Amino acid sequence: MVFPITGCVTLYKPNAIHSPLVKEKGDLNTGVSIGASGSGLYNLQAAYAPSDNIGIMLDGMHHKRRLSGADSSVQTLNIFFGETGVGYFSRFGDKKNGLFQCYGGAGYGKSTDKITRLHEGNDEMSAKYFNIFIQPGIALTRKNFELAFDLRANYVNLFNIRSPLYDKFEWWNTDFRSHSDTSLYFINLEPTLTMKAGGKKLKGIVQLGLTIPSVNPNSYFIVDTYSLLGFPLIKFSFGLNYYFGRFTLRPDPEHSP
């Protein structure tokens, strides 16, 4: 694959949105998904309900990419990210098939984007980042089918950014070959539709959503230049979810035989 734009760089990639969908005390489920567009490649998710209205979520992401350029250069990208959150959920409706959920949390990641050339010097770009998010959602839940809509507001701050001084980064210190104390931030809105279907325990997951740069959008496009092409702003992922059932650390007298 040929680099579409000389000097393209990726230092940030959104993760697949986690819609926990725990519904009662002791619920435990895990998921794994592949980001086909607009999100990290490998996503791991787990959710647990320690009480009837409180949920805990834990997510991990690894994104990797290797591209060959027309000039025999090779670009290697690696991003590692993890986040955790806690939230409130409540079932509603005559049959309790409706679910309201709202989670908030934070995460930390680091990224490296390296370009290796045969007859010229190599370039390596890197950054660390953290995020803070709030994510309300609503869902329809049945035994073999779940459909959820979530809207994440995601604040992301990249720091310790280190990069060669391409023209794209002329706002960095031009007295040096690279700069290592630059930071930037942006806020994205990420509306997402998540569908789970299958058996009671094992279900397939399909997720479709958008990344909408809303505050400091130019900063987002600087650290994910491929999104300027438009299509990467559309998020699509697919995978599997496994529901372990009700898991409690202590016996629950209310549900004891």
Phi, psi for 219 (deg, rounded to 5): -65, -40
CATH of the domain at 175: 2.40.128
Phi, psi for 64 (deg, rounded to 5): -140, 150
**Pairing state of beta strands 234-246 and 202-210?**
antiparallel
Quote the CA–CA distance of 130 and 33 in Å, as a whole number: 22
Nearest to 242 by CA among 43, 29, 47: 29
In a domain, 7, yes or no: no
Q: What is the pLDDT along the chain (257 residues), one digit of tens a residue?
A: 233 333 567 899 999 999 999 999 999 999 999 999 999 999 999 999 999 999 999 999 999 988 887 777 788 999 999 999 999 999 999 999 999 999 999 999 999 998 887 766 677 889 999 999 999 999 999 999 999 999 999 999 999 888 764 444 444 444 434 455 678 999 999 999 999 999 999 999 999 999 999 999 999 988 887 776 656 799 999 999 999 988 776 655 554 44
What domain range is 77 assigned to?
27-245
In a domain, 123, yes or no: yes
In a domain, 20, yes or no: no
- Count of domains for the chain: 1
In a domain, 114, yes or no: yes
Taking each continuous run of H as one helix and of E as one strand, the counts in the chain are: 1, 11
In a domain, 57, yes or no: yes
* pTM for this entry: 0.86
The alpha-carbon radius of gyration of the chain (Å, integer) is 21
In a domain, 256, yes or no: no
